[in-house]
A and B are shown apart, each in its own frame.
Chain A
Protein backbone atom coordinates (compact mmCIF):
# COMPACT_ATOMS: atom_id res chain seq x y z
CA UNK A 1 0.00 0.00 0.00
CA UNK A 2 1.25 3.43 -0.87
CA UNK A 3 0.73 6.34 1.46
CA UNK A 4 -1.95 8.86 0.58
CA UNK A 5 -0.49 11.28 -1.93
CA UNK A 6 -1.02 14.96 -1.23
CA UNK A 7 -3.29 15.17 -4.26
CA UNK A 8 -5.52 12.35 -3.09
CA UNK A 9 -8.75 13.73 -1.75
CA UNK A 10 -10.86 10.65 -1.39
CA UNK A 11 -9.63 7.17 -0.74
CA UNK A 12 -11.58 3.93 -0.56
CA UNK A 13 -9.80 0.86 0.79
CA UNK A 14 -11.43 -2.57 0.28
CA UNK A 15 -14.89 -1.14 0.74
CA UNK A 16 -17.83 -3.53 0.72
CA UNK A 17 -21.45 -2.80 1.47
CA UNK A 18 -24.06 -5.45 2.24
CA UNK A 19 -27.70 -4.46 2.64
CA UNK A 20 -29.81 -6.53 5.01
CA UNK A 21 -28.86 -9.72 6.79
CA UNK A 22 -29.02 -13.48 6.24
CA UNK A 23 -30.79 -14.97 3.24
CA UNK A 24 -32.17 -11.72 1.91
CA UNK A 25 -28.92 -9.79 2.12
CA UNK A 26 -27.53 -8.09 -0.99
CA UNK A 27 -23.89 -7.23 -1.44
CA UNK A 28 -24.23 -4.02 -3.44
CA UNK A 29 -20.55 -3.08 -3.40
CA UNK A 30 -17.74 -5.61 -3.22
CA UNK A 31 -14.12 -4.88 -2.26
CA UNK A 32 -13.72 -1.55 -4.00
CA UNK A 33 -10.47 0.36 -3.61
CA UNK A 34 -9.76 3.66 -5.29
CA UNK A 35 -7.63 6.78 -4.78
CA UNK A 36 -9.28 9.87 -6.22
CA UNK A 37 -7.31 13.01 -6.88
CA UNK A 38 -8.12 16.68 -6.75
CA UNK A 39 -8.78 18.42 -10.04
CA UNK A 40 -10.17 15.32 -11.71
CA UNK A 41 -13.50 14.81 -13.44
CA UNK A 42 -14.31 11.17 -12.91
CA UNK A 43 -17.16 9.04 -14.22
CA UNK A 44 -18.71 5.94 -12.72
CA UNK A 45 -20.63 3.81 -15.21
CA UNK A 46 -22.46 0.56 -14.96
CA UNK A 47 -25.79 -1.17 -15.50
CA UNK A 48 -28.80 -0.55 -13.33
CA UNK A 49 -28.48 -2.13 -9.92
CA UNK A 50 -24.72 -2.48 -10.17
CA UNK A 51 -24.08 -0.46 -7.03
CA UNK A 52 -23.27 3.03 -8.37
CA UNK A 53 -25.51 4.96 -6.04
CA UNK A 54 -24.41 2.82 -3.12
CA UNK A 55 -20.77 3.60 -3.86
CA UNK A 56 -21.57 7.32 -4.11
CA UNK A 57 -23.34 7.25 -0.73
CA UNK A 58 -20.37 5.48 0.83
CA UNK A 59 -18.11 8.24 -0.46
CA UNK A 60 -20.44 10.92 0.82
CA UNK A 61 -20.77 9.58 4.39
CA UNK A 62 -24.44 8.77 3.87
CA UNK A 63 -23.76 5.06 4.34
CA UNK A 64 -21.18 3.21 6.36
CA UNK A 65 -19.22 0.44 4.65
CA UNK A 66 -19.79 -3.06 6.01
CA UNK A 67 -16.05 -3.63 5.70
CA UNK A 68 -13.18 -1.45 4.51
CA UNK A 69 -12.62 2.24 5.08
CA UNK A 70 -13.26 5.63 3.51
CA UNK A 71 -10.79 8.48 3.98
CA UNK A 72 -11.36 12.10 3.07
CA UNK A 73 -7.93 13.72 3.05
CA UNK A 74 -6.47 11.85 5.98
CA UNK A 75 -9.61 11.58 8.08
CA UNK A 76 -11.10 8.10 8.41
CA UNK A 77 -14.70 9.23 7.94
CA UNK A 78 -16.10 5.69 7.85
CA UNK A 79 -15.31 5.26 11.54
CA UNK A 80 -16.55 8.65 12.74
CA UNK A 81 -19.41 8.87 15.21
CA UNK A 82 -22.84 9.54 13.72
CA UNK A 83 -22.87 13.00 15.32
CA UNK A 84 -19.70 14.04 13.47
CA UNK A 85 -21.02 13.19 10.03
CA UNK A 86 -23.07 16.37 9.46
CA UNK A 87 -19.86 18.37 9.87
CA UNK A 88 -18.05 16.25 7.26
CA UNK A 89 -20.96 16.52 4.83
CA UNK A 90 -21.17 20.28 5.33
CA UNK A 91 -17.52 21.05 4.89
CA UNK A 92 -16.22 18.43 2.48
CA UNK A 93 -18.95 17.47 0.08
CA UNK A 94 -21.34 19.02 -2.39
CA UNK A 95 -24.14 16.84 -3.73
CA UNK A 96 -25.99 16.97 -7.00
CA UNK A 97 -29.00 14.72 -7.41
CA UNK A 98 -30.67 13.33 -10.48
CA UNK A 99 -34.02 14.80 -9.40
CA UNK A 100 -32.50 18.22 -8.50
CA UNK A 101 -33.98 18.13 -4.95
CA UNK A 102 -34.38 21.88 -4.77
CA UNK A 103 -36.54 23.43 -2.05
CA UNK A 104 -39.74 24.26 -3.94
CA UNK A 105 -40.79 27.18 -1.72
CA UNK A 106 -37.46 28.95 -2.15
CA UNK A 107 -36.27 30.94 -5.16
CA UNK A 108 -33.10 29.91 -6.94
CA UNK A 109 -31.18 32.49 -4.94
CA UNK A 110 -32.73 31.42 -1.66
CA UNK A 111 -32.01 27.76 -2.37
CA UNK A 112 -28.32 28.57 -2.57
CA UNK A 113 -28.43 31.11 0.24
CA UNK A 114 -30.21 28.74 2.65
CA UNK A 115 -27.51 26.15 1.99
CA UNK A 116 -24.81 28.74 2.66
CA UNK A 117 -26.63 29.72 5.89
CA UNK A 118 -26.59 26.09 6.94
CA UNK A 119 -22.87 25.99 6.32
CA UNK A 120 -22.28 29.05 8.48
CA UNK A 121 -22.17 31.78 5.82
CA UNK A 122 -24.95 34.18 6.82
CA UNK A 123 -26.36 37.65 6.27
CA UNK A 124 -25.23 39.92 3.46
CA UNK A 125 -22.16 37.78 2.92
CA UNK A 126 -24.33 34.72 2.33
CA UNK A 127 -26.52 36.58 -0.11
CA UNK A 128 -23.57 37.95 -2.07
CA UNK A 129 -21.94 34.54 -2.22
CA UNK A 130 -25.20 32.96 -3.43
CA UNK A 131 -25.32 35.51 -6.28
CA UNK A 132 -21.70 34.75 -7.15
CA UNK A 133 -22.36 31.04 -7.34
CA UNK A 134 -25.45 31.49 -9.52
CA UNK A 135 -23.50 33.78 -11.82
CA UNK A 136 -20.79 31.19 -12.07
CA UNK A 137 -23.27 28.57 -13.32
CA UNK A 138 -24.81 31.10 -15.72
CA UNK A 139 -28.09 31.69 -13.93
CA UNK A 140 -27.76 35.36 -13.02
CA UNK A 141 -30.94 36.33 -14.83
CA UNK A 142 -33.31 33.80 -13.29
CA UNK A 143 -32.22 33.82 -9.67
CA UNK A 144 -35.50 35.17 -8.29
CA UNK A 145 -37.63 32.42 -9.80
CA UNK A 146 -39.05 29.46 -7.94
CA UNK A 147 -37.85 26.03 -9.08
CA UNK A 148 -41.24 25.30 -10.66
CA UNK A 149 -40.69 28.20 -13.04
CA UNK A 150 -37.27 26.96 -14.16
CA UNK A 151 -36.40 24.49 -16.93
CA UNK A 152 -34.66 21.22 -16.07
CA UNK A 153 -31.30 22.59 -17.12
CA UNK A 154 -31.80 25.71 -15.07
CA UNK A 155 -32.80 23.68 -12.04
CA UNK A 156 -29.69 21.58 -12.34
CA UNK A 157 -27.61 24.75 -12.55
CA UNK A 158 -29.15 25.88 -9.29
CA UNK A 159 -28.32 22.47 -7.84
CA UNK A 160 -24.72 22.83 -8.99
CA UNK A 161 -24.51 26.29 -7.43
CA UNK A 162 -25.95 24.85 -4.23
CA UNK A 163 -23.41 22.02 -4.27
CA UNK A 164 -20.69 24.65 -4.48
CA UNK A 165 -21.95 26.43 -1.36
CA UNK A 166 -19.32 26.32 1.32
CA UNK A 167 -16.62 25.61 -1.29
CA UNK A 168 -16.36 21.82 -0.79
CA UNK A 169 -13.35 20.01 -2.27
CA UNK A 170 -15.51 17.09 -3.40
CA UNK A 171 -18.58 17.17 -5.65
CA UNK A 172 -20.63 13.98 -5.88
CA UNK A 173 -23.26 13.78 -8.57
CA UNK A 174 -25.69 10.90 -9.16
CA UNK A 175 -26.79 10.95 -12.79
CA UNK A 176 -27.06 14.74 -12.84
CA UNK A 177 -27.92 14.69 -16.53
CA UNK A 178 -30.40 11.85 -16.28
CA UNK A 179 -33.45 14.07 -16.53
CA UNK A 180 -32.05 16.50 -19.10
CA UNK A 181 -31.96 16.45 -22.87
CA UNK A 182 -28.56 15.63 -24.33
CA UNK A 183 -27.59 19.20 -25.20
CA UNK A 184 -28.44 20.51 -21.74
CA UNK A 185 -26.82 17.45 -20.18
CA UNK A 186 -23.64 18.22 -21.99
CA UNK A 187 -23.69 21.85 -20.83
CA UNK A 188 -24.09 20.78 -17.22
CA UNK A 189 -21.32 18.21 -17.62
CA UNK A 190 -19.05 20.91 -19.00
CA UNK A 191 -19.74 23.09 -15.99
CA UNK A 192 -18.86 20.15 -13.74
CA UNK A 193 -15.68 19.49 -15.70
CA UNK A 194 -14.65 23.11 -15.27
CA UNK A 195 -15.21 22.85 -11.54
CA UNK A 196 -12.62 20.06 -11.56
CA UNK A 197 -10.13 21.48 -14.01
CA UNK A 198 -10.30 25.16 -13.19
CA UNK A 199 -10.97 25.03 -9.48
CA UNK A 200 -9.16 21.88 -8.50
CA UNK A 201 -12.13 20.00 -7.07
CA UNK A 202 -12.69 16.30 -7.26
CA UNK A 203 -15.88 15.82 -9.26
CA UNK A 204 -17.20 12.28 -9.15
CA UNK A 205 -20.22 11.59 -11.27
CA UNK A 206 -22.43 8.61 -11.97
CA UNK A 207 -23.58 8.55 -15.56
CA UNK A 208 -25.31 6.31 -18.03
CA UNK A 209 -24.68 8.67 -20.87
CA UNK A 210 -21.98 7.41 -23.26
CA UNK A 211 -22.12 10.58 -25.38
CA UNK A 212 -20.36 12.64 -22.75
CA UNK A 213 -17.73 10.17 -21.61
CA UNK A 214 -15.17 12.00 -23.71
CA UNK A 215 -15.22 14.78 -21.11
CA UNK A 216 -14.03 12.50 -18.33
CA UNK A 217 -10.47 12.28 -17.07
CA UNK A 218 -11.07 8.83 -15.69
CA UNK A 219 -13.89 6.31 -15.99
CA UNK A 220 -14.71 3.49 -13.59
CA UNK A 221 -16.98 0.66 -14.63
CA UNK A 222 -18.85 -1.29 -12.03
CA UNK A 223 -20.81 -4.51 -12.39
CA UNK A 224 -22.50 -6.46 -9.63
CA UNK A 225 -20.71 -4.29 -7.10
CA UNK A 226 -17.23 -5.02 -8.43
CA UNK A 227 -14.97 -2.55 -10.23
CA UNK A 228 -14.08 -3.85 -13.70
CA UNK A 229 -10.57 -4.09 -15.04
CA UNK A 230 -11.46 -2.19 -18.15
CA UNK A 231 -11.78 1.06 -16.22
CA UNK A 232 -10.08 3.83 -18.18
CA UNK A 233 -7.46 5.81 -16.31
Chain B
Protein backbone atom coordinates (compact mmCIF):
# COMPACT_ATOMS: atom_id res chain seq x y z
CA UNK B 1 0.00 0.00 0.00
CA UNK B 2 1.17 3.48 -0.80
CA UNK B 3 0.29 5.80 2.08
CA UNK B 4 -0.54 9.16 0.56
CA UNK B 5 -0.94 10.51 4.10
CA UNK B 6 2.57 9.52 5.15
CA UNK B 7 4.14 10.60 1.87
CA UNK B 8 2.49 14.01 2.07
CA UNK B 9 3.55 14.48 5.70
CA UNK B 10 7.18 13.64 5.04
CA UNK B 11 7.17 15.66 1.84
CA UNK B 12 6.28 18.91 3.65
CA UNK B 13 9.10 18.56 6.14
CA UNK B 14 8.89 22.03 7.63
CA UNK B 15 5.17 21.91 8.13
CA UNK B 16 5.47 18.46 9.64
CA UNK B 17 8.11 19.79 12.03
CA UNK B 18 5.84 22.68 13.05
CA UNK B 19 2.95 20.30 13.72
CA UNK B 20 5.21 18.00 15.74
CA UNK B 21 6.59 20.94 17.70
CA UNK B 22 3.03 21.99 18.54
CA UNK B 23 1.98 18.54 19.64
CA UNK B 24 5.17 17.90 21.59
CA UNK B 25 4.86 21.25 23.32
CA UNK B 26 1.32 20.41 24.34
CA UNK B 27 2.37 16.94 25.51
CA UNK B 28 5.20 18.38 27.63
CA UNK B 29 2.92 20.99 29.22
CA UNK B 30 0.22 18.44 29.95
CA UNK B 31 2.62 15.80 31.24
CA UNK B 32 4.65 18.06 33.50
CA UNK B 33 1.69 20.00 34.90
CA UNK B 34 -0.35 16.88 35.47
CA UNK B 35 2.66 15.19 37.02
CA UNK B 36 3.20 18.07 39.42
CA UNK B 37 -0.52 18.23 40.17
CA UNK B 38 -0.68 14.53 41.00
CA UNK B 39 2.49 14.73 43.08
CA UNK B 40 1.19 17.72 45.04
CA UNK B 41 -2.16 16.06 45.43
CA UNK B 42 -0.75 12.86 46.88
CA UNK B 43 1.79 14.84 48.90
CA UNK B 44 -0.70 16.93 50.85
CA UNK B 45 -2.16 13.80 52.43
CA UNK B 46 1.14 11.97 52.83
CA UNK B 47 0.90 11.69 56.64
CA UNK B 48 -2.65 10.34 56.55
CA UNK B 49 -1.76 7.84 53.85
CA UNK B 50 1.25 6.52 55.77
CA UNK B 51 -0.61 6.00 59.03
CA UNK B 52 -2.10 2.58 59.64
CA UNK B 53 -5.37 3.91 61.09
CA UNK B 54 -8.67 3.03 59.43
CA UNK B 55 -10.57 5.92 60.95
CA UNK B 56 -9.65 9.51 61.85
CA UNK B 57 -11.59 11.33 64.52
CA UNK B 58 -11.31 15.11 64.47
CA UNK B 59 -12.80 18.13 66.16
CA UNK B 60 -16.17 19.04 64.66
CA UNK B 61 -16.12 21.11 61.46
CA UNK B 62 -12.48 20.64 60.47
CA UNK B 63 -11.52 21.70 56.92
CA UNK B 64 -8.50 19.54 56.41
CA UNK B 65 -5.71 17.62 58.11
CA UNK B 66 -3.33 20.54 58.44
CA UNK B 67 -5.77 22.75 60.34
CA UNK B 68 -6.38 20.39 63.25
CA UNK B 69 -8.11 21.70 66.38
CA UNK B 70 -7.79 20.28 69.88
CA UNK B 71 -10.53 18.40 71.70
CA UNK B 72 -10.65 16.55 74.99
CA UNK B 73 -8.48 13.48 75.14
CA UNK B 74 -11.24 11.79 77.12
CA UNK B 75 -13.06 11.19 73.84
CA UNK B 76 -10.38 8.60 73.12
CA UNK B 77 -11.71 6.39 75.93
CA UNK B 78 -15.26 6.74 74.63
CA UNK B 79 -14.06 5.72 71.21
CA UNK B 80 -12.13 2.73 72.56
CA UNK B 81 -15.39 1.42 74.12
CA UNK B 82 -17.15 1.22 70.75
CA UNK B 83 -17.47 -2.37 69.54
CA UNK B 84 -15.17 -3.13 66.63
CA UNK B 85 -12.46 -0.69 67.69
CA UNK B 86 -9.15 -2.59 67.98
CA UNK B 87 -7.30 0.43 69.29
CA UNK B 88 -7.71 4.19 69.55
CA UNK B 89 -4.57 6.35 69.69
CA UNK B 90 -3.99 10.03 70.22
CA UNK B 91 -2.13 12.02 67.56
CA UNK B 92 -0.98 15.61 67.61
CA UNK B 93 -0.65 18.18 64.90
CA UNK B 94 -0.07 21.87 65.58
CA UNK B 95 1.80 24.91 64.35
CA UNK B 96 5.01 26.16 65.87
CA UNK B 97 7.70 28.74 65.18
CA UNK B 98 11.10 27.27 64.42
CA UNK B 99 14.12 29.42 64.98
CA UNK B 100 16.80 29.00 62.32
CA UNK B 101 20.49 29.50 63.19
CA UNK B 102 20.37 32.68 61.10
CA UNK B 103 17.83 34.07 63.54
CA UNK B 104 14.81 34.01 61.26
CA UNK B 105 11.62 32.13 62.02
CA UNK B 106 10.03 29.37 60.01
CA UNK B 107 6.51 28.12 60.58
CA UNK B 108 6.54 24.36 61.17
CA UNK B 109 3.91 21.74 61.87
CA UNK B 110 4.65 19.57 64.86
CA UNK B 111 3.54 15.98 64.54
CA UNK B 112 3.22 14.17 67.86
CA UNK B 113 2.85 10.39 68.05
CA UNK B 114 3.03 7.90 70.89
CA UNK B 115 6.51 6.27 70.83
CA UNK B 116 5.10 3.24 72.71
CA UNK B 117 2.75 2.31 69.88
CA UNK B 118 4.53 4.20 67.06
CA UNK B 119 1.12 4.89 65.46
CA UNK B 120 1.65 7.89 63.20
CA UNK B 121 5.45 7.72 63.46
CA UNK B 122 7.67 8.61 60.47
CA UNK B 123 7.93 5.60 58.17
CA UNK B 124 11.24 6.16 56.47
CA UNK B 125 14.19 6.90 58.72
CA UNK B 126 17.44 8.25 57.29
CA UNK B 127 19.33 8.70 60.57
CA UNK B 128 18.52 8.15 64.23
CA UNK B 129 16.09 5.99 66.15
CA UNK B 130 12.50 7.24 66.14
CA UNK B 131 11.96 5.82 69.63
CA UNK B 132 14.32 8.59 70.77
CA UNK B 133 11.52 11.13 70.47
CA UNK B 134 10.50 10.09 73.95
CA UNK B 135 13.51 11.99 75.29
CA UNK B 136 12.93 15.57 76.24
CA UNK B 137 12.12 17.73 73.21
CA UNK B 138 13.88 15.46 70.73
CA UNK B 139 12.70 16.01 67.19
CA UNK B 140 13.09 14.55 63.68
CA UNK B 141 12.79 16.46 60.43
CA UNK B 142 12.75 15.49 56.74
CA UNK B 143 16.06 15.53 54.86
CA UNK B 144 14.49 17.58 52.07
CA UNK B 145 13.67 20.38 54.54
CA UNK B 146 17.29 20.69 55.66
CA UNK B 147 17.87 24.00 53.91
CA UNK B 148 14.55 25.48 54.88
CA UNK B 149 15.21 24.67 58.53
CA UNK B 150 18.77 25.99 58.56
CA UNK B 151 21.05 22.97 58.04
CA UNK B 152 20.96 21.69 61.61
CA UNK B 153 22.89 18.40 62.02
CA UNK B 154 21.88 15.63 64.43
CA UNK B 155 22.66 16.60 68.00
CA UNK B 156 22.35 20.33 67.37
CA UNK B 157 19.77 22.43 69.15
CA UNK B 158 17.37 25.22 68.28
CA UNK B 159 14.04 26.54 69.53
CA UNK B 160 10.40 25.92 68.75
CA UNK B 161 8.04 28.46 70.30
CA UNK B 162 10.97 29.57 72.46
CA UNK B 163 11.45 26.08 73.91
CA UNK B 164 14.75 24.29 73.38
CA UNK B 165 14.59 21.32 71.01
CA UNK B 166 17.27 18.88 69.92
CA UNK B 167 17.62 17.26 66.49
CA UNK B 168 17.55 13.49 67.13
CA UNK B 169 17.27 12.20 63.60
CA UNK B 170 16.38 12.70 59.96
CA UNK B 171 13.51 11.12 58.02
CA UNK B 172 12.59 11.07 54.36
CA UNK B 173 9.41 11.02 52.30
CA UNK B 174 7.58 13.42 54.61
CA UNK B 175 8.45 16.62 52.84
CA UNK B 176 5.55 18.97 52.43
CA UNK B 177 5.39 21.03 49.24
CA UNK B 178 2.50 23.31 49.93
CA UNK B 179 2.25 23.27 53.69
CA UNK B 180 4.88 24.08 56.33
CA UNK B 181 7.64 21.54 57.15
CA UNK B 182 6.65 18.65 59.42
CA UNK B 183 8.61 18.16 62.67
CA UNK B 184 8.20 14.74 64.28
CA UNK B 185 8.31 14.24 68.02
CA UNK B 186 6.42 12.46 70.77
CA UNK B 187 2.83 13.39 71.53
CA UNK B 188 3.93 14.60 74.94
CA UNK B 189 6.77 16.79 73.60
CA UNK B 190 4.55 18.24 70.90
CA UNK B 191 1.86 19.18 73.40
CA UNK B 192 4.45 20.80 75.66
CA UNK B 193 5.98 22.77 72.79
CA UNK B 194 2.59 23.97 71.57
CA UNK B 195 0.13 26.46 72.97
CA UNK B 196 -2.50 23.76 73.41
CA UNK B 197 -3.71 22.89 76.91
CA UNK B 198 -2.94 19.59 78.57
CA UNK B 199 -5.68 16.96 78.44
CA UNK B 200 -6.37 17.60 74.78
CA UNK B 201 -5.57 15.74 71.61
CA UNK B 202 -5.88 16.87 68.00
CA UNK B 203 -6.77 13.54 66.42
CA UNK B 204 -7.80 10.11 67.58
CA UNK B 205 -6.71 7.35 65.27
CA UNK B 206 -8.71 4.14 65.21
CA UNK B 207 -7.87 0.68 63.99
CA UNK B 208 -10.87 -1.49 63.22
CA UNK B 209 -10.75 -5.00 64.65
CA UNK B 210 -10.66 -7.93 62.23
CA UNK B 211 -14.13 -9.05 61.20
CA UNK B 212 -15.68 -5.59 61.50
CA UNK B 213 -16.42 -3.31 58.59
CA UNK B 214 -14.85 0.15 58.70
CA UNK B 215 -18.14 1.76 57.62
CA UNK B 216 -20.05 0.06 60.44
CA UNK B 217 -17.53 1.07 63.07
CA UNK B 218 -17.47 4.63 61.69
CA UNK B 219 -21.26 4.80 61.99
CA UNK B 220 -21.20 3.44 65.54
CA UNK B 221 -18.57 5.97 66.64
CA UNK B 222 -20.65 8.76 65.11
CA UNK B 223 -23.66 7.59 67.08
CA UNK B 224 -21.79 7.22 70.37
CA UNK B 225 -19.22 10.02 70.48
CA UNK B 226 -20.55 13.56 70.29
CA UNK B 227 -19.00 16.80 68.98
CA UNK B 228 -16.46 15.09 66.76
CA UNK B 229 -16.24 14.25 63.05
CA UNK B 230 -15.47 10.69 62.05
CA UNK B 231 -13.78 9.96 58.73
CA UNK B 232 -12.48 6.82 57.13
CA UNK B 233 -8.80 7.30 56.19
CA UNK B 234 -9.45 7.48 52.41
CA UNK B 235 -12.22 10.05 52.96
CA UNK B 236 -10.05 12.19 55.20
CA UNK B 237 -7.20 11.92 52.74
CA UNK B 238 -9.45 13.00 49.89
CA UNK B 239 -10.96 15.86 51.91
CA UNK B 240 -7.47 17.16 52.59
CA UNK B 241 -6.40 16.78 48.95
CA UNK B 242 -9.52 18.54 47.71
CA UNK B 243 -8.96 21.38 50.14
CA UNK B 244 -5.40 22.05 49.03
CA UNK B 245 -5.97 21.37 45.36
CA UNK B 246 -9.37 22.98 44.82
CA UNK B 247 -10.19 25.40 47.66
CA UNK B 248 -6.77 27.04 47.61
CA UNK B 249 -6.70 27.09 43.80
CA UNK B 250 -3.25 25.47 43.67
CA UNK B 251 -4.41 22.44 41.72
CA UNK B 252 -6.75 24.50 39.59
CA UNK B 253 -3.80 26.68 38.52
CA UNK B 254 -1.70 23.64 37.62
CA UNK B 255 -4.52 22.03 35.66
CA UNK B 256 -5.32 25.31 33.92
CA UNK B 257 -1.80 25.34 32.47
CA UNK B 258 -2.24 21.74 31.33
CA UNK B 259 -5.52 22.71 29.70
CA UNK B 260 -3.77 25.61 28.02
CA UNK B 261 -1.37 23.02 26.60
CA UNK B 262 -4.30 21.15 25.10
CA UNK B 263 -5.75 24.33 23.61
CA UNK B 264 -2.46 25.60 22.18
CA UNK B 265 -1.59 22.16 20.84
CA UNK B 266 -4.99 21.80 19.18
CA UNK B 267 -4.77 25.24 17.60
CA UNK B 268 -1.28 24.65 16.18
CA UNK B 269 -2.08 21.18 14.91
CA UNK B 270 -5.48 22.16 13.51
CA UNK B 271 -3.87 25.09 11.76
CA UNK B 272 -1.06 23.06 10.18
CA UNK B 273 -3.36 20.21 9.16
CA UNK B 274 -5.87 22.65 7.70
CA UNK B 275 -3.23 24.62 5.77
CA UNK B 276 -1.85 21.36 4.48
CA UNK B 277 -5.31 20.23 3.37
CA UNK B 278 -5.92 23.55 1.63
CA UNK B 279 -2.63 23.26 -0.22
CA UNK B 280 -3.40 19.70 -1.27
CA UNK B 281 -6.96 20.50 -2.31
CA UNK B 282 -6.24 19.81 -5.97
CA UNK B 283 -4.85 16.39 -5.06
CA UNK B 284 -7.94 15.57 -3.03
CA UNK B 285 -10.06 16.72 -5.99
CA UNK B 286 -8.03 14.51 -8.33
CA UNK B 287 -8.53 11.58 -5.98
CA UNK B 288 -12.27 12.18 -6.02
CA UNK B 289 -12.29 12.47 -9.81
CA UNK B 290 -10.51 9.14 -10.19
CA UNK B 291 -12.99 7.46 -7.90
CA UNK B 292 -12.10 8.07 -4.26
CA UNK B 293 -15.10 8.27 -1.94
CA UNK B 294 -15.26 10.83 0.85
CA UNK B 295 -14.30 8.05 3.24
CA UNK B 296 -11.13 7.35 1.28
CA UNK B 297 -10.17 10.99 1.83
CA UNK B 298 -11.10 10.92 5.53
CA UNK B 299 -8.85 7.91 5.97
CA UNK B 300 -5.94 9.93 4.56
CA UNK B 301 -6.61 12.86 6.89
CA UNK B 302 -7.14 10.65 9.94
CA UNK B 303 -3.99 8.71 9.14
CA UNK B 304 -2.09 12.01 9.06
CA UNK B 305 -3.56 12.93 12.43
CA UNK B 306 -2.57 9.58 13.92
CA UNK B 307 0.99 9.75 12.59
CA UNK B 308 1.23 13.27 13.99
CA UNK B 309 -0.06 12.21 17.38
CA UNK B 310 2.10 9.11 17.75
CA UNK B 311 5.35 10.88 16.81
CA UNK B 312 4.37 14.05 18.68
CA UNK B 313 3.59 12.01 21.78
CA UNK B 314 6.92 10.17 21.59
CA UNK B 315 8.90 13.38 21.16
CA UNK B 316 6.87 15.12 23.87
CA UNK B 317 7.44 12.26 26.30
CA UNK B 318 11.18 12.26 25.63
CA UNK B 319 11.34 16.00 26.36
CA UNK B 320 9.07 15.61 29.41
CA UNK B 321 11.41 12.94 30.73
CA UNK B 322 14.34 15.36 30.58
CA UNK B 323 12.31 18.17 32.14
CA UNK B 324 11.11 15.89 34.94
CA UNK B 325 14.64 14.68 35.66
CA UNK B 326 15.76 18.29 35.95
CA UNK B 327 12.80 19.10 38.21
CA UNK B 328 13.54 16.15 40.46
CA UNK B 329 17.07 17.45 40.90
CA UNK B 330 15.45 20.68 42.10
CA UNK B 331 13.32 18.59 44.50
CA UNK B 332 10.12 19.41 42.59
CA UNK B 333 7.95 16.32 42.70
CA UNK B 334 6.36 14.70 39.67
CA UNK B 335 4.09 11.70 39.89
CA UNK B 336 3.07 9.89 36.71
CA UNK B 337 1.60 6.42 36.88
CA UNK B 338 1.35 4.35 33.67
CA UNK B 339 -2.44 4.84 33.41
CA UNK B 340 -1.89 8.60 33.45
CA UNK B 341 0.58 8.27 30.56
CA UNK B 342 -1.94 6.18 28.65
CA UNK B 343 -4.50 8.89 29.35
CA UNK B 344 -2.16 11.55 27.98
CA UNK B 345 -1.61 9.45 24.86
CA UNK B 346 -5.37 9.10 24.33
CA UNK B 347 -5.72 12.85 24.87
CA UNK B 348 -3.02 13.50 22.26
CA UNK B 349 -4.78 11.30 19.71
CA UNK B 350 -8.11 13.00 20.42
CA UNK B 351 -6.46 16.39 20.10
CA UNK B 352 -5.09 15.47 16.67
CA UNK B 353 -8.37 13.94 15.51
CA UNK B 354 -10.27 16.99 16.70
CA UNK B 355 -7.78 19.11 14.77
CA UNK B 356 -8.75 17.23 11.61
CA UNK B 357 -12.44 18.04 11.80
CA UNK B 358 -12.10 21.27 9.80
CA UNK B 359 -10.07 19.51 7.14
CA UNK B 360 -12.59 16.72 6.93
CA UNK B 361 -15.43 19.14 6.35
CA UNK B 362 -13.30 20.90 3.75
CA UNK B 363 -12.59 17.79 1.66
CA UNK B 364 -16.21 16.68 1.94
CA UNK B 365 -17.19 19.82 0.06
CA UNK B 366 -14.61 19.46 -2.72
CA UNK B 367 -16.26 19.28 -6.13
CA UNK B 368 -14.13 16.93 -8.24
CA UNK B 369 -15.02 19.03 -11.28
CA UNK B 370 -12.48 21.56 -9.92
CA UNK B 371 -9.62 19.48 -11.26
CA UNK B 372 -10.58 20.32 -14.83
CA UNK B 373 -10.22 24.02 -14.19
CA UNK B 374 -6.66 25.00 -14.92
**Chain A contact residues, CB within 8 Å of chain B:** 53, 56-57, 60, 62-63, 83, 86-91, 93-95, 97-99, 101, 103-106, 110, 113-115, 117-119, 122-123, 126, 162, 166, 174
Contacts and interface: CB of A to CB of B under 8 A. Distances in A.
Contacts of B2: 106, 110, 113-114, 117
B1 A117 contact: yes
A-B pairs, top 4 by smallest CB distance, nearest first, are A90-B291, A105-B11, A89-B291, A114-B2
Contact of B287 (A88, A98, A118, A126): A118
Contacts of A101: 282-283, 286, 371
Contact of B7 (A60, A95, A105, A162): A105
Contacts of B291: 86-91, 93, 118-119, 166
Contacts, number: 74
13 contacts: A60-B289, A62-B372, A88-B291, A93-B291, A97-B371, A97-B372, A103-B4, A105-B7, A105-B11, A105-B12, A114-B2, A118-B296, A166-B291
Given A89-B291, A118-B291, A118-B296, A98 B374 contact: yes
A38 B71 CA distance: 101
B135 interface: no
A163 B289 CA distance: 11
Contacts of A126: 1
B146 interface: no
A57 B290 contact: no
Given A105-B10, A110-B7, A113-B2, A118 B289 contact: no
A123 B2 CA distance: 9
Contacts of A123: 1
Interface in B276-303: 282-283, 286-293, 296
B292 A86 contact: yes
Interface residues of B, number: 24
Contacts of A113: 2
B115 interface: no
Nearest to A83: B293
B8 interface: yes
A56 B372 contact: yes
B193 to A, nearest CB: 74
Interface of B: 1-2, 4, 7-8, 10-12, 282-283, 286-293, 296, 368-369, 371-372, 374
Contacts of B1: 117, 122-123, 126
A114 B299 CA distance: 14
Contacts of A122: 1
B369 to A, nearest CB: 5
A208 to B, nearest CB: 13
Nearest to B295: A86
Nearest to B10: A105
Contacts of A106: 2, 4, 7
A90 B290 CA distance: 6
A96 to B, nearest CB: 10
A94 B283 CA distance: 16
Nearest to B2: A114
Given A97-B286, A105-B12, A162-B290, 17 more contacts: A62-B369, A86-B292, A86-B296, A88-B291, A89-B289, A89-B290, A91-B291, A94-B290, A95-B371, A103-B4, A110-B7, A115-B290, A118-B291, A119-B291, A123-B1, A166-B291, A174-B372
